[in-house]
Each structure stands twice: as structure tokens, then as C-alpha cells.
Chain A
Amino acid sequence: MRLRILSREDNSLEIAFGGEGHTLLNLLQNLLLKQKGVKMAGYSKPHPLMDRSILFVNTDGDKPPEVALIEAAEEGKRLLKEFLEEFEKAARQVRRQDA
């Protein structure tokens, strides 16, 4: 993953991701939109064959966009941890159904 800031104005941040696509950016966008203080979040993949995506965040000013992004990543990590715990618990109770 490589990151490069494309523009940083007032409460907006536009950042390019090298080597990442819909998998990560759609998740980040979703986590940003659920956050208080985030006015707008979106992403685009300018060319389907190129491994470069662009994420845009705009906040209300109480929270800089960088902080919103870090919080989104941390929330994603928390969800994944919660999922893994639940999944491992469920996997232990799985019913094997072999014909």
C-alpha cells in the first residue's frame, strides 16, 4: 500500500492509494459515512486496470479528515476482531455433514 495526498484544503482531504481497490476503499468509505462529523466520503477507481484508487473525505471542522480516517481504520479493526472471535466460536459448533 502506498499513500499520496492529492489535495488538502480546509476540511477536505483527497488521498490516492497505490495497490488498493474496492475491497479496502469501499469499506473505509462505509466506515467514514457512519462517523459523526463526516459530511461526505467517497472513492473512485479511475481506471479498472490500474491499481490506484482515490478516497475523498470532508468533515464538519470539529474533526480533521486525517483523524476521521484513522478512526475509520480503527473501527474496521475492531469489527474484524469481533467478527473473528464470533466466527471461531461458531466454527467450533459447526455441524459436519458429510455424505
Chain B
Amino acid sequence: MAQNQTSPATKRISTYLMMIVLIVIALSIVSLILAANAYLIGDGLTAGFLAIIGLIAMTMSIFTLYQSRRQAVQMKIEMPKVMTTIECKKCGSKTVREYQRGDYVYKELDACPKCPDTKQIITAIYKEVKEKEKTYNV
């Protein structure tokens, strides 16, 4: 149960979005070519304008692509490992193992290896979320 599952359907990026992004990329390339053209002619101002427009459009479309890719990556069902803590009340020994079906908090298990007359007890069952939640400085 610790595996990550991804659905194939969700990996697709919207084709409409893709189309728009491609058009904008094409236009930005054209703009850059025009800029080079204008520069060769000697019109520095127009060349500058065109270059800035081309670069902005290019950055924007690449950013949009990156964003939709990140969204596709997020579409996963993650199942973190669930751990069981076992304690012996007498000697205080503590062991942590992976959850097994049938475990529950305050279930009595076999006798402790060190103190044969005391039964070990499950004291906690929890999952540890490794990924730290993003904090906002507000």
C-alpha cells in the first residue's frame, strides 16, 4: 500500500492550452527574427522592442507549460507508511514497526522478550508525513 499510483488520463495537458502556447511560441520566434532583421537594417529601437516582446512571450509560454506539467505531477494518490509503536509498560522498551492488519491502539500483544510475565501493548498508530507543509510568512 506504500506505492504511488498515477492515472494515465491525468497526464495529458489540455490540448487547447497547448495550442495557444504553441501559437504564442511561434509568434515570439517570429518577433525575435524580426528583431534580428531590424537590427541588421540598423533600426536599434524597433529591434529592442521586438526582442523584449519576443522574450516576454517566450518566457510566459514556457512558464505556462511548466505550470501545467507541475499540475500533472501533483495528480497522485500518495499513501504514506503507517507505523505501529509497541511498548512494554514494565521495562519501558519501545519498538516501532510497520502497521499490520489487525493492529489497534491498546491491543495486547505477546509477552515482552525481557519480561515474560508482562504483555506488550500497542500505544500508537500513526503515519508520518515526510513532506513539510509549505508555510506562508503572514
**A and B: real partners?**
no
Tell me the B residues contacting A by CB distance below 8 Å: none
